């Protein structure tokens, strides 16, 4: 029975549990399998893949979530007056240099919240920019511009998510920020 225990079967076992707790640990997944099948404990990779498939089945895949980014930014701007989001860079074919037609591909996105834009007039004339790594399956960089108020409190001004930190992406961010 052990070799026939696939990731799909694990999905069926933990389906309701993952809905209640999307952050369910791999050890909890292993416990659910043990409760169902006795002393059987599949390998870590199989448990991980089963958990990943269960989350995707319940909430959608990582790839699908990028389709909601534009809608999320539009809604955020609607609810936070004065906020703005900026269109992403177009996707280019590296060989021809032409814009890819009919291809939806995440390249970069930038946004700023209205309250932060309004507060900009009251900040000291020092702006810090920095980037940090995004971890997980889809790596990238979060670029951020921050200002300082009279009490040296940090105020985020603008944000961008890009594939990697390079001169072109910093230019994209700084021309919009």
The DSSP bridge partners found for residue 147 are 127, 155
pLDDT-based confidence at residue 1 (cuts at 50, 70, 90): very low
Return the H-helix or E-strand segment holding 142.
strand 140-148
Share of the chain above pLDDT 90, in %: 17
Q: What is the mean pLDDT of the chain?
A: 82
- Whether residue 148 contacts residue 124, with contact meaning beta carbons closer than 8 Å, is answered with yes
Task: Average the pLDDT over 22-29 and give the result.
Answer: 89
pLDDT band at 146 (very low <50, low <70, confident <90, very high): very high
DSSP tally for the chain: helices H, then strands E: 7, 5
Tell me the average pLDDT across 1-17.
Answer: 80
Residues 85 and 107: their CA atoms lie apart, in Å, by 14
Return left, alpha or beta for 4; rule: phi > 0 is left, psi -120 to 50 is alpha, else beta.
alpha
Residue 161 CA to its chain's centroid (Å): 9
If pLDDT is split at 50, 70 and 90, which confidence band does 117 have? confident
The residue-averaged pLDDT of 21-37 equals 88
Exposed / middle / buried, residue 21 (Cβ in 10 Å: 0-12, 13-18, 19+): exposed
Q: What average pLDDT does this structure show over 134-156?
A: 87
> Once rounded to an integer, what is the mean pLDDT over residues 59-67?
73
Helix (H, G, I), strand (E, B) or coil at 144: strand
Q: How confident is the model at residue 104 (pLDDT cuts 50, 70, 90)?
A: low
Specify the range with the lowest mean pLDDT, choosing from 13-17, 69-73, 100-104: 100-104
Give me Rg for the CA atoms of the chain: 22
């Amino acid at each position: 029975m052990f070799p026939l225990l696939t990731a799909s079967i694990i999905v069926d076992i933990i389906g309701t549990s993952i809905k209640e707790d999307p952050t369910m640990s791999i050890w909890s997944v292993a416990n659910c399998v043990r409760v169902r099948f006795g002393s059987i404990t599949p390998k870590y990779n199989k448990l991980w893949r089963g958990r990943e498939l269960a989350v995707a089945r319940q909430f959608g895949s990582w790839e699908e979530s990028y389709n909601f980014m534009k809608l999320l930014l539009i809604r955020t701007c609607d609810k936070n007056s004065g906020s703005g989001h900026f269109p992403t860079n177009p996707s280019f074919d590296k060989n021809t240099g032409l814009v890819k037609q009919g291809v939806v591909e995440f390249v970069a996105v930038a946004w700023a919240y209205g309250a932060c834009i309004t507060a900009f007039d009251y900040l000291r004339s020092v702006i810090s920019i920095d980037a940090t790594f995004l971890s997980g399956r889809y790596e990238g960089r979060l670029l951020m511009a921050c200002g300082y108020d009279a009490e040296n409190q940090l105020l985020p001004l603008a944000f961008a998510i890009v594939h990697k930190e390079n001169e072109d992406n910093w230019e994209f961010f700084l021309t919009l920020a």
